[in-house]
Structure 1
Amino acid sequence: MSESTTLTIRLPQSVKDKLDQLAIDTDRSKSYLAAEAVEHYVDRELAIVASIKRGLEDMEAGRTVPHEQVMAEVREIIEAAKRKHA
């Protein structure tokens, strides 16, 4: 089991009430549920930040496609799909 530590946070009363109800309904502790929620949030946000950083690196290295070119290709794909289904 991984090591744990304590973190104190302030929540709106409405969120605490929902957490209380969820703990009752799932037979889990509020601490367990809160830790799970924070872990999932942090993992998702870290993935988003990593993607943004990769995108910025791609821009700096010139690994991009101009917006106008992408839009022209998208329009061609849409028109081809329309012709196919006409």
Structure 2
Amino acid sequence: MNSPVSITTPLDPATFAMVEELARYRGITGEEFAAEAIREAAEHHAGMRAYIQEGIDSADRGELISQEEMEIWFEERVAARRRG
């Protein structure tokens, strides 16, 4: 089983107070709130990194869309939305 590791980082007083207030509101500790926030941020950034890499890989394979094709697609979407 993996044991938790700790991170120590300075926070300005306003941010620290906000973390403590939000943690209290949720019934958890500031440490639990911080750990959850870091986990969520890491998952978000990992997902974005994978999404960007997927685009790079697609471009490397030559799977590209021209500016003209994109404009046509966009205009079709706008027209469809206006129709209802």
TM-score range, shorter chain: 0.7 to 0.9
- How many angstroms apart in 1 are the aligned matches of 2:64 and 2:73? 15
Runs of 4+ in 1 over 6 A off after TM superposition: none
User: Could you say if the C-alpha distance between residues 76 and 27 of structure 1 is closer, same or farther in structure 2, counting changes exceeding 3 Å?
Assistant: closer
Q: Scaled by the length of structure 2, what TM-score is found?
A: 0.83
Shift of 1:72: 1.6
- How many angstroms apart in 2 are the aligned matches of 1:31 and 1:80? 49
- How many angstroms apart in 2 are the aligned matches of 1:78 and 1:3? 52
User: Could you say if the C-alpha distance between residues 76 and 2 of structure 1 is closer, same or farther in structure 2, counting changes exceeding 3 Å?
Assistant: same
**Paired position in structure 1 for 2:56:** 56
**Paired position in structure 2 for 1:39:** 39
Structure 2's unaligned 5+ residue stretches are none
Number of aligned residue pairs? 84
Q: Which amino acid aligns with 1:68?
A: E
Q: Can you list the C-alpha shifts for 1:49-79, whole angstroms capped at 9, x where unaligned? A: 1111110111111111112111123224434
**Paired position in structure 2 for 1:14:** 14
Shift of 1:2: 5.0
- How many angstroms apart in 2 are the aligned matches of 1:4 and 1:28? 17
2:71 counterpart of 1:71: yes
| Seq. identity, % | 19
Q: Scaled by the length of structure 1, what TM-score is found?
A: 0.82
Higher mean C-alpha deviation, range 73-82 or range 32-41: 73-82
Larger radius of gyration: 1
